[in-house]
Amino acid sequence: MNNLAITLGDQGKLDEAVSIMKEVLEKMQQILGDEHPATITAMNNLAITLGDQGKLDEAVLIEKER
C-alpha cells in the first residue's frame, strides 16, 4: 500500500496519498514497532508528502518522532 500511496503522490493526488500513508504508518507501528526500518521509511514518506502539500509544521512533527 505504501507504493500505491507514493504513486498517487507522484500523480499529484496528495490528499489521497497522505490518507493511505497515515493508514500504512499506523499499521506498521502496531505490527513492527516505531524503530523498525520499514516504519521509519513510512514516516519519512509521509513527512515528505505532507511537505509537498505545504503542511510543513505537520511534516516536521512527524520527522521529530523518528
Across 45-63, average pLDDT: 93
Convert the pLDDT of each residue in 7-52 to its tens digit.
999 999 999 999 999 999 999 999 999 999 999 999 999 999 999 9
Q: Write down all domains in the chain, each with its CATH number in brackets.
A: 2-65 (1.25.40)
In degrees, to the nearest 5, what angle opens at C-alpha 49 toward C-alphas 22 and 20? 30
pLDDT of residue 64: 84
Residues with Cβ within 8 Å of residue 9, at least 6 apart in sequence:
17, 49, 52
State how far the alpha carbon of 60 is from the alpha carbons of 11, 21, 24, 45, 55, in Å: 23, 16, 19, 12, 9
Q: CA–CA separation, 65 vs 16, rounded Å?
A: 23
